[in-house]
Amino acid sequence: MLMEAILGKFLEAPEPLLNATGIAQRLNTDQAVIRHHLHLLQDKGWVAEAENAFWRLTNAGHDYLEGSPEQGISLKSLG
């Protein structure tokens, strides 16, 4: 899933803020598609738009990623 791949990029990134352009380049995907999925992730409360078109993983997003496979996704699937 693309949303899981996007969350994985937040975990891999050395910096806490990412923009749609950087995520799109890392995933070889169109920026418009990435922005759409970032808004879907925002609807779930897992990412938040910071400033200057950058996004960050929220506390709820970290909780989701650290949850059990039944509650969330496997961190191994993101690697």
Task: Centre a 10 Å sphere on the Cβ of residue 40 and count the other Cβ atoms it contains.
Answer: 14
Q: What pLDDT is attached to residue 73? A: 56
CA 72 – CA 31 distance, rounded (Å): 25
Q: Which pTM does this prediction carry?
A: 0.83
What domains lie within the chain, and their CATH numbers? 2-78 (1.10.10.10)
CA 59 – CA 79 distance, rounded (Å): 20
Average pLDDT, the chain: 88
